[in-house]
Structure 1
Amino acid sequence: MTAPTVRGGREDVPGGPVRELLTPRETALGGSTVVRRLLPNLGRRMVGAWCFVDHYGPDDIADEPGMQVPPHPHMGLQTVSWLHEGSVLHRDSLGSLQTVRPRELGLMTSGRAISHSEESPRDHAPLLLGAQLWVALPDAHRHTAPAFEHHTDLPTVAAAGLHATVILGSLDGATSPGTTYSPLVGADLTLREGTRQRLPLQPDFEYAALAMTGLTEVDGVRLEAGSMLYLGSGRRELPLHALADGSVLLLGGEPFEEKLVMWWNFVGRSSEEIAEARADWMDGSRFGEVHGYDGARLAAPVLPPVPLKPRGRVR
């Protein structure tokens, strides 16, 4: 049974820098893919508007089907697909059909309602490595029309031993073409072994760093691939030291002011809204249909028979 949670609000955002190492939880995603779930976490539920972070791979899928996630619904959020190895075929109820490849941005805005599937193409690369992230939509925009964007030409920032690709938002003057609805940033930092750099940050943002590959010290904390460090706010720069060739995802944004109810694939504001969304998905209304996926769509889990209780940003 999937338990609903309430997250958001600013009262639990540290007023200055911190170093909280988040422990991942392994869960099966679809097909042969097992992910390391870092948000929501027992100790930290959001970083800015980022409310969900999965890291997966590197997986050897040469003789496996790879990622196979059947059609499922979303509302109240954006999904961000980010790959280092392999490719993912995206289909959605708008009729989108797009293969997302390494360092390309696949950005889906669910708005009021959308459904989609994700799968490794039939002829796929032998390795799969990437991250799946969600961005919560603020109340003023969460009922917007659904949309899908695919951006292959993303801006970069470079320094000695460091190459940064701006996925969403802005970093050091470079701005992604991806649509955002709140002040945030997502950037992929590639670091050469031995590199020491200090990355400029915005003090009114809170940040976290997810190690994608390699071994990196972030503000003096050693991060292995698949681990994430919550950094708090009040920072103007971030010290980085690459102990081996590798890459780090930097995620940040203004602390999300609203409290959210997040259950299964839905982000809402009340248990009644979540229950309505579940019923609409199960009876085939509102979320549309994904055409072309070879298999049945996902059924929603059963809602728990307990009232929702606010828990804020941290437990």
Structure 2
Amino acid sequence: MSNVETEPAMLRCGATVDDGRPEGEGRVEVLSAREVPLGGPRALLVRRTLPQRARTLIGAWCFADHYGPVDAGATGMRVPPHPHTGLQTVSWLFSGEIEHRDTLGTHAFVRPGEMNLMTGGYGIAHSEVSTPRTTVLHGVQLWVALPEEHRNAARDFQHHVPEPVRVDGAEIKVFLGTLAGSTSPVRTFTPLLGAEITLAPRATLTLTVDTSFEHGLLVDTGEVRLNDTALHPAELGYVPCGTDAVTMTNDSDAPARTILLGGPPFEEEIVMWWNFIGRSHDDIVQAREDWREGTRRFGVVEGYDGDPLPAPPLPNMPLKPRGRIPGGA
């Protein structure tokens, strides 16, 4: 799923806020989501935890939308062909099914427990439509910023079905990186961690993590404590670098489901607007013009019945990149 807002916010990404507290020590910063309607009268409402003013990235993870559960008959997903540059999209479902088509010629399906990762470096376009057999739609859509060295990488598509790992009352599905002895074979351009973790009722789980990574735990269902900080559904708990373990506790009598993200701090300056990531205002202007003009940069999505998504107007002020604040949280 992609950002189909008609007036996307101007985002100066890469910056963080220095709150005066020391790095590491397992402390947790709680990030609340904002609700964003995607589409028209039957818009799919998503809860967006990244980016936001307090924190724009966790590692190279730069965008996190969390949606559902919704009745797909009343509010399904139908996102026409639209472009991407400078990023990878990661699609992960808890329930439902989404049909994916892209300009590589890929025709694939997103299903629960199966990860689809699409690379839109120099340019790619794709469409996403929930299938007729979908009754409940529920999942997350994540974006990864590509480093300068690879931001014009060739189009690519990878599919992976992680084998569940069971540890201390938890089921873990590692779709990117390494955790709990499980390693994903999926290729990324920076070190990353992505995993679904479901905790049994009243279970406590401690996981060893890479101290060079910062981490974010997004709660889908349940009441979870991360390093003794309470997180509610749709909240994301951020843990800075310097932590060698994270502890999660399910305080409820039902299973609690979460998504754990991680990676080393992404120090490059980026500009993110609509479905594009660049390094300057001019990068975004050129990508938008290439999409509007229908150049070969993005290609054509075959098999979608309908028109491509038009690009929204640019803001009236230049889009300026901003870097990570030294010593920021």
- C-alpha separation between the residues in 1 aligned to 2:35 and 2:246? 28
- C-alpha separation between the residues in 1 aligned to 2:75 and 2:101? 17
One of 36, 40, 52 as aligned partner of 1:27: 36
What amino acid maps onto 2:244 in structure 1?
Answer: R
Q: CA deviation at 1:122?
A: 2.2
Q: CA deviation at 1:10?
A: 8.4
What amino acid maps onto 1:213 in structure 2?
Answer: T
1:7-61 C-alpha deviation (Å, 9 max, x unpaired): 2278969732432211211112245421001100121100000000000011122
Instruction: Name 1:177's counterpart in structure 2.
Output: 185
The aligned length equals 312
One of 139, 159, 164 as aligned partner of 2:167: 159
What amino acid maps onto 1:43 in structure 2?
Answer: A
**Residues 10 and 257 of structure 1 are in contact (CA less than 8 Å); yes or no, is this contact kept in structure 2?**
no
Q: CA deviation at 1:89?
A: 0.7
**Residues 281 and 320 of structure 2 are in contact (CA less than 8 Å); yes or no, is this contact kept in structure 1?**
no
Q: CA deviation at 1:313?
A: 4.5
- C-alpha separation between the residues in 2 aligned to 1:313 and 1:60? 40
**Residues 211 and 241 of structure 2 are in contact (CA less than 8 Å); yes or no, is this contact kept in structure 1?**
yes
One of 288, 301, 323 as aligned partner of 1:290: 301
Instruction: Name 1:264's counterpart in structure 2.
Output: 274
Pair 268,169 (structure 1): closer, same or farther in 2 beyond 3 Å: same
Alignment of 1:1-315 (within 5 A): 1-8=7-14, 15-16=23-24, 17-30=26-39, 31-61=42-72, 63-64=73-74, 66-124=76-134, 126-152=135-161, 154-244=162-252, 245-285=255-295, 286-313=297-324
What amino acid maps onto 1:169 in structure 2?
Answer: G
In structure 2, stretches of 5+ residues that fail to align are: 1-6
What amino acid maps onto 1:20 in structure 2?
Answer: E
What amino acid maps onto 2:30 in structure 1?
Answer: L
- C-alpha separation between the residues in 2 aligned to 1:232 and 1:59? 33
Instruction: Name 2:4's counterpart in structure 1.
Output: none
Tell me, what secondary structure is at the counterpart of 1:279?
Answer: helix
Q: CA deviation at 1:312?
A: 3.5
Tell me, what secondary structure is at the counterpart of 1:277?
Answer: helix
**Residues 96 and 138 of structure 2 are in contact (CA less than 8 Å); yes or no, is this contact kept in structure 1?**
yes
Tell me, what secondary structure is at the counterpart of 1:18?
Answer: coil
Q: CA deviation at 1:110?
A: 0.6
**Residues 197 and 240 of structure 1 are in contact (CA less than 8 Å); yes or no, is this contact kept in structure 2?**
yes
Query: Which has the larger share of strand?
Result: 1
What amino acid maps onto 1:257 in structure 2?
Answer: E
Pair 35,3 (structure 1): closer, same or farther in 2 beyond 3 Å: closer
1:66-121 C-alpha deviation (Å, 9 max, x unpaired): 11111110010000000011111111111111111101001101111000011101
Identity of aligned residues (%): 47
1:284-309 C-alpha deviation (Å, 9 max, x unpaired): 01111112222221111111121233
Choose 274-283 or 160-169, whichever is displaced more: 160-169
TM-score by length of 2: 0.90
Pair 117,146 (structure 1): closer, same or farther in 2 beyond 3 Å: same
In structure 1, stretches of 5+ residues that fail to align are: none
Tell me, what secondary structure is at the counterpart of 1:52?
Answer: strand
